[in-house]
Structure 1
Amino acid sequence: MSENRKSRMEFSRRIGSGPMKWFYVGVLVAMLSASGRGQDSVKKPETPAGGQGSGTAQSSASPQATAPTGPATLTGAPAVDNARYVIGPDDSLAITVWKEPSLSGTIPVRPDGMISIALVGDLRAAGRTPMQLADDITVKLKKYIQDPNVSVVVMADTSQRIFLIGEVGHVGPIPITPGMTPLQAIAAGGGLSAFANSKKIYILRNEGGKQLKIPFNYKQALKGEGSQDITLKPGDTIVVP
């Protein structure tokens, strides 16, 4: 008879039958269950896909701190050089007089190039730089305010543009850059269309209340002929028939 069978028979003989038998069986089952739970408790947690444990996964799901942003910037004002930018009609100016809110505000430049300010009245702004205009306003205000502190900022430089109409890629206004030529302006506007008459292009310009018509030959300009080296001015209109 095998040793295992002998052990089972000896165990049965000792516990006998009846209530005591089932009592010992219950104790044995409880011991085996506790042993199984102990083995499960020492198991290592499974590593999810990606090679990170559950703790790392939880921390990555938590909200991340947002890096602080810099100070708020003035989004309405274009970046212009106050020492060189020349104010023109239709520009929008933010004029600030320190500690004088009634004299401060956003003022449009009228088509005649003038602006109107309380105490000062009408003042020419077109043709002046923001710094020059601030000095002009300061001189005017000294009659009414002791040591006025004036600043002028260009909020909308709408005067610094030219217009393209006719057979070009994009009809409408485009910003003008210093020394811009008609050839450069047409390129900025998407170039000529397939139906453009490149020999009959002309520029409309207002000078001294009179409208000038300046001819421009696109093909000659492409060849580098000096006669077509025209410098555009703000407000010019290039017509491409």
Structure 2
Amino acid sequence: MSCGRLVAVMMMVLMLASSAGKTVFAAPKGKDEEKNYTLGYGDVIDVLVWKEPDFTVENIVVRLDGKITLPLVNDIRAQGQTPRQLKAHLEIVLRKYIESPVVTVLLKEARSRRFYILGEIAQTGEYALTKELTVLQAFALAGGFTEWARKKEIFVLRRGEGKDTVIPVNYLDIISGKDLKGNLVIQADDTIVVP
């Protein structure tokens, strides 16, 4: 079996497997990913304060203003901080009420990092970006192409530093092995357009 044919068969298996279930929001899997993960609005976290059930709050959603609310402490900025940074900040703030607070911040659902797929794809819409994901994996996640998809004319619209960049993606060249570099890694807020 040729390399291109093997890749095509693997893609079909991935597409069938991904279309069987729904997208699930989950925390990043790797320790390095979670350590460097920056909280954003929509993320769900638990704030656990050791031996202090009155200060422990589970399933807190980071609000649109980037803040969370805790008992007595009120509003605390969470957006833009890693779970470790938020833990350190909460331990300082809680010293007003607890002698030596020990705080754990757990990322339960990473919802702030998303990408979008539009056009001739089986399941268009918004998807959680919970791990490093390539465009081929994104196509599989979205259930594959419709019969009218122009697979040579796909592009990724990427916003960065106030301007949009259009990155062409030729699906047929990627799966044939001609352009493996074209299987780029998706970034938060990317929009994949399949004409």
**TM-score category by the smaller chain?**
0.5 to 0.7
Residues 1-241 of structure 1: pairs in structure 2 closer than 5 A: 78=26, 80-81=28-29, 83=31, 84-85=33-34, 86=37, 87-98=39-50, 99=52, 101=54, 104-111=57-64, 113-117=66-70, 118-119=72-73, 121-126=75-80, 128=82, 130-176=83-129, 178-208=131-161, 210-222=163-175, 223-241=177-195
Question: Are residues 159 and 141 of structure 1, via their aligned partners in 2, closer, same or farther at CA, if it must alter by over 3 Å?
Answer: same
Q: Higher strand fraction: Structure 1 or Structure 2?
A: 2
RMSD of aligned C-alpha atoms?
A: 3.1
Question: Are residues 227 and 210 of structure 1, via their aligned partners in 2, closer, same or farther at CA, if it must alter by over 3 Å?
Answer: same
Which structure has the greater CA radius of gyration?
1
* TM-score normalised to structure 1 length: 0.55
Structure 1: unaligned runs, 5 residues or longer: 1-76
> 1 CA distance for matches of 2:56 and 2:130?
33
RCO higher in 1 or 2 (8 Å CA, sep ≥ 6)?
Answer: 2
* Aligned-pair identity (%): 31
1:52 alignment partner in structure 2: none
> 2 CA distance for matches of 1:135 and 1:155?
18
Question: Are residues 123 and 224 of structure 1, via their aligned partners in 2, closer, same or farther at CA, if it must alter by over 3 Å?
Answer: farther
Structure 2: unaligned runs, 5 residues or longer: 1-24
Give the aligned residue type for 1:125: Q
User: Is 2:154–2:192's contact at 8 Å kept on the other side of the alignment?
Assistant: yes
> 1 CA distance for matches of 2:183 and 2:65?
29
Give the aligned residue type for 1:154: L
Moved over 6 A (4+): none
